[in-house]
Amino acid sequence: MSDASPTVLFEHPLNEKMRTWLRIEFLLQQLHGQRALSETAIALTFFRTISDLLDVLERGEIRTELLKELERQQQKLLQWADVPGVDMTRVDQLRNQLKQRSSQLMSAPRMGQALREDRLIALVRQRLSIPGGCCSFDLPTLHMWMHAAQHERDDDVAQWLQTLEPLHQALTMILSLIRQTEPFRNQISLNGFYQDNAEGADLLRLRIDLVHQLYPQISGHKTRYAIRFLPLDSEHGQVPERLTFDLACC
């Protein structure tokens, strides 16, 4: 793969835990990217994203799973202590950060509870499932809020996002460490197909040259996975007999 070629990065979870974490990360990134609610359309996208996040947080024991992973990452870092030449100062820094994230997450209120109890968020969530249900005559409270000073809305958004910081910081660090566990390696698919083992892995990461206009269709679980490359243009697109791509099985 040429270093000069623009590439597209795809990530695929290999278990339900990672699937949920990637969805939460995706939603948190949207929330932080929509902070300046200067128009009603932007505000409704923000509130819809909050609603989606609260729905995800209500499923499963997300806090418990994150705490387990923070502990697991600490134990993995300890294994580096006996490896010659390892920067133990950096290892100790990471372990302390993991302990801090764990402590913050453990002492935080129920994830998303402050958002569920917020009056404006609750009012908007009730109307989101109704087509066009957030008009000014349906939600005069939102209409008034959108006419408040921008700094007042910014303060509200900052307070809402602050309640998610223990989750955000813990998840960001966990996913960063997982993504760094394996480097990208050059692979070749034959006639658009590739498969391999994934014992103990959580996440597949693929980089493909944009020029090919291909995307991966991945099926996999914790022990094995298969990748089929498909053309974006299903009628006229072609898949090379031998396709080079980069893969990291984390």
pLDDT digits (tens, 9 = 90+) for 9-51: 999 999 999 999 999 999 999 999 988 999 999 999 999 999 9
Whole-number Cα distances in Å, 92 to 5, 79, 87, 99, 219 = 38, 12, 9, 10, 37
Q: Is the pLDDT of residue 4 over 80?
A: no
Do 153 and 145 meet the contact criterion of CB atoms below 8 Å apart? Answer: yes
Could you give the maximum distance between any two Cα atoms of the chain, in Å?
A: 68
Question: Is the pLDDT assigned to residue 66 strictly greater than 90?
Answer: yes
Q: How high does pLDDT run on average in the chain?
A: 93
62-78 vs 16-33: helix crossing angle, rounded to 10: 100
How large a percentage of the chain has pLDDT more than 90?
A: 84
For tokens 């087509």, the residue is 131
Q: What 8-state DSSP symbol labels residue 237?
A: -
Whether the pLDDT of residue 122 is over 90: the answer is yes
pLDDT attached to residue 35: 86
Write down the pLDDT at residue 79.
82
pLDDT at 52: 97
Angle subtended by helix axes 16-33 and 40-57, to nearest 10: 160
Percent of residues, the chain, with pLDDT higher than 70? 98
Look at 98 and 236; give whichever has higher pLDDT. Answer: 98
Check residue 1 and give its pLDDT.
55
Q: Predicted confidence band at 135 (pLDDT cuts at 50, 70, 90)?
A: very high
pLDDT at 151 over 70: yes
Q: What does the alpha-carbon distance between residue 154 and residue 31 come to, in Å, rounded to a whole number?
A: 13
pLDDT tens-digit series, residues 172-198: 999 999 999 999 999 999 999 999 998
Asked if the model's pLDDT at residue 2 lies above 90, the reply is: no
Q: Which domains does the chain have, with CATH numbers?
A: 7-12+184-249 (2.60.440.10), 34-180 (1.10.3900.10)
Would you call 199 exposed, middle or buried from its count of C-beta atoms within 10 A (0-12, 13-18, 19+)? exposed
Residues 6+ apart with CB under 8 A from 72: none
At 85, the pLDDT band (50, 70, 90 cuts) reads confident
